[in-house]
Amino acid sequence: MIFFNGGGACWNSTTCLASLQSAEPAYVPSDDLPENNPLRHDGVLNLNNPDNPYQDWSIAYLPYCTGDIHFGSKDAAYLAGPGITKTIRHHGFDNFLYARKWLQHYFEHKNKRGPAKILVTGVSAGAYGAALNYAHIKAAFPRAKGYLLADGGNGVLTDSFMRDAIRGPHSAWNFDANMAQSVPGLASTTALDASSFAPAIYAALTDYYPRDRFSQYSTIHDTIQVLFYNIMLNSNDMSQWGNFTAQRIAAWSNGMLRNSYAAVAAPNYRFYIAPGCDHTILRSPAMYSEATVNGVTFLDWFEGLTEGKNRRAWSNASCTDSGCQFQPSTPAQINICLASP
């Protein structure tokens, strides 16, 4: 298992610098903070839980502090004040390449054939890192059967974010240069509009790797994903970041459902959309107690992804088919969701 940790993102002076001085930092700025310690997390990272179907897998855990969804390769100078700039090192992709090289050396000494299976997964920003770096992992281990689970990163983006963070040589992360050229159509996805970007990535991957399996998880009203969608809409005005309404949640949910269903025609793609407003599940004890959706628990679905004993459970599951929990609509309800661990 290659696990990309989450921790927000930043792409301009407000998100990268000013937000760190506020109560709502947009990203985790250091790898030695508790958020990056795998021993502080539960879920799939709890190797002492006998119910964990991956407790005997080897795990490469990638911490995250570069603010670039594990895909940047650039030193970016941001304005910190009149005539004052500060450099943020968006080198998440370079960090990943170092980890990949370490794994290649490891398997050269331990088992020259490499691993038989690789589960590429990540949470939040790491969900994007997992999907974007998948082709680079497959290039290093072409014999391995591959599996992808993106947890809490469904690609509801804005065109302004695409322009500022992703698209072109003047964007914050030097994103274009890192797209795998080996997968037809993958590199050109950055030229698409925001609503087409994420679905096009999954379409390219599922088509090029027909033997591998790809999947996404989200709750129906994931308020942290809504929060970042709202940050993208107000990236220079922190006062508006946490000030969103039920209508903004509904707009994000509709976008998430559109993205999730866009790749459903591919025979090697599935989604799991759970009720509620929590953000991500793979680092949480909820992984073992998640309510069933369409009669399938998340744990069985997750194990089925990698063709374990519950392989028949790996099917599309959405609470929209069986009744989702209420949508948070008042500021108090939204704040409860935002505060959920």
Given a contact cutoff of 8 angstroms between Cβ atoms, the answer to whether 220 and 324 are in contact is yes
Residue 281 and residue 196: Cα distance in Å, rounded? 25
Per-residue pLDDT averaged across 318-324, rounded? 81
Given a contact cutoff of 8 angstroms between Cβ atoms, the answer to whether 207 and 266 are in contact is yes
Per-residue pLDDT averaged across 5-22, rounded? 97
Q: How far is CA 175 from CA 137, 138, 200, 264, 303, in A?
A: 17, 19, 16, 27, 32
Given a contact cutoff of 8 angstroms between Cβ atoms, the answer to whether 90 and 172 are in contact is yes
Q: How confident is the model at residue 339 (pLDDT cuts 50, 70, 90)?
A: confident
CATH number at residue 131: 3.40.50
Q: How confident is the model at residue 113 (pLDDT cuts 50, 70, 90)?
A: confident
Q: In terms of pLDDT, which residue wins out, 324 or 47?
A: 47
What is the structure's pLDDT at 272? 97
Residue 182 and residue 180: Cα distance in Å, rounded? 5
pLDDT digit string, tens, across residues 52-88:
999 999 999 999 999 999 999 999 999 998 889 999 9
Helical segments of the chain, H only:
13-16, 92-110, 125-140, 159-161, 194-208, 223-233, 246-262, 298-305, 331-339
Tokens of residue 229, six digits: 């969608």
Per-residue pLDDT averaged across 130-143, rounded? 97
pLDDT digit string, tens, across residues 204-259:
999 999 999 999 999 999 999 999 999 999 999 999 999 999 999 999 999 999 99
Pairing status of strand 317-318 against strand 145-151: unpaired
Domain count of the chain? 1
What is the structure's pLDDT at 49? 96
Which residues, listed in sequence order, are joined to residue 149 by a DSSP beta bridge? 121, 215
213 half-sphere exposure, CB direction, 13 A CA radius: 21
The CA-based dihedral angle spanning residues 202, 338, 31, 282, taken in that order and rounded to the nearest 10 degrees: -50
Q: In whole numbers, what is the pLDDT of the chain averaged over residues?
A: 94
Per-residue pLDDT averaged across 258-281, rounded? 95
304-312, Cβ contacts within 8 angstroms, sequence gap of 24 or more: 305/119, 305/147, 305/149, 305/213, 305/215, 305/270, 306/53, 306/54, 306/117, 306/119, 306/147, 306/213, 307/213, 308/53
CB crowding 113-131: b at 16 or more within 10 Å, else e: ebbeebbbbbbbbbbbbbb
pLDDT digit string, tens, across residues 288-319:
997 789 899 999 999 999 988 788 899 999 99
pLDDT digit string, tens, across residues 152-178:
999 999 999 999 999 988 999 999 999
Q: Classify residue 180 by its DSSP letter.
A: -
Per-residue pLDDT averaged across 146-151, rounded? 98
What is the structure's pLDDT at 81? 85
Per-residue pLDDT averaged across 280-285, rounded? 96
Which run of H or E residues covers position 271? strand 269-274
Predicted confidence (pLDDT) at residue 112 exceeds the cutoff of 80: no
Q: How confident is the model at residue 105 (pLDDT cuts 50, 70, 90)?
A: very high
Predicted confidence (pLDDT) at residue 325 exceeds the cutoff of 80: no
Overall pTM surpassing 0.85 (yes/no): yes
What is the structure's pLDDT at 46? 97
Predicted confidence (pLDDT) at residue 340 exceeds the cutoff of 80: no
What is the structure's pLDDT at 13? 97
What is the structure's pLDDT at 310? 81
Q: In terms of pLDDT, which residue wins out, 333 or 178?
A: 178
* CA dihedral (276, 246, 218, 16) positive or negative: negative
Quick check: helix, strand or coil at residue 272?
Answer: strand
Predicted confidence (pLDDT) at residue 320 exceeds the cutoff of 90: no
- In the chain, pLDDT over 90 holds for what percent of residues? 85
Given a contact cutoff of 8 angstroms between Cβ atoms, the answer to whether 146 and 307 are in contact is no
The count of other CB atoms within 10 Å of the CB of residue 226 is 27
The count of other CB atoms within 10 Å of the CB of residue 40 is 10
User: Which structural domain, as residue segments, surrounds residue 249?
Assistant: 2-339
Per-residue pLDDT averaged across 33-53, rounded? 95
What is the structure's pLDDT at 169? 85
